[in-house]
Amino acid sequence: MGKEPLETELKIPVADHDSIRESLLRARAVAVQTMAREVNFLFDTSDGRLRSAGSLLRLRDHGGHQLITFKGAPRFRGAIKERPEFETRIGDFTSMIEILERLGFGVFMRYEKDREEWLIGEVSVVLDHTPMGDFVEVEGPAEQLEEIARSLGLEVATAVRGSYVSLWHEYRASRPEQNLPLDMVFDE
């Protein structure tokens, strides 16, 4: 087995993505994935074992690419979030759901976002449009993240620590009059 793979990222809320795209073009970033709907299913045991440990088990379909991901509990170095991440492609989304259910996991939440991805060297910059607003995730070698974020005009000090799940729960709680669904999905 080798060294445990780590996800290192900054997640920064933004008013919109237009100025970020302009900065990406000026930086000669390479467009990897055009904006496409991403659908995520989060799984856990009935007693919430993964969530209570700060871990995540996710099935994702994005632009025809289907992945299963396990993420361990996050740690923070300043604004940068680090967590173990194991991910692989799968060939049959429906069968994978069935396998997970037979292993004792069930879907506890679904969330959607429209995502586009760019690369600057080793660093991935994703533009996420969600039902609660727009975000930019800067992911790659930790020592490069803040510098690249600043070069794109992003305010590192505004990076959020939460996952989309926790951010959605906070968003819903702050707007009880809107009666928002448990799942973070678009109204369409």
Going by C-beta distance under 8 Å and a sequence separation of 6 or more, which residues neighbour residue 52? none
Give the pLDDT confidence of 27-68 residue by residue, as tens digits: 999 999 999 999 999 999 999 999 999 999 999 999 888 999
pLDDT at 1 over 70: no
What would the two tokens of residue 87 be? Answer: 């991910």
Query: What is the structure's pLDDT at 135?
Result: 98
pLDDT at 3 over 80: no
| Assigned architecture for domain 6-178 | Beta Barrel (2.40)
Domains of the chain: which residue ranges? 6-178
Contact 84, 3 (CB under 8 A): no
Q: Distance (Å, rounded) from C-alpha 16 to C-alpha 128? A: 10
- Read off φ and ψ for residue 172, nearest 5 degrees: -60, -45
Going by C-beta distance under 8 Å and a sequence separation of 6 or more, which residues neighbour residue 166? none
DSSP code, position 184: B
Q: Is the pTM of this model over 0.95?
A: no
Give the pLDDT confidence of 105-143 residue by residue, as tens digits: 999 999 999 999 999 999 999 999 999 999 999 999 999
Contact 30, 108 (CB under 8 A): no
For residue 11, the Cα-to-chain-centroid distance in whole angstroms is 9
- Percent of the chain exceeding pLDDT 70 equals 99
Largest CA distance in the chain: 50
What would the two tokens of residue 24 be? Answer: 């990406």
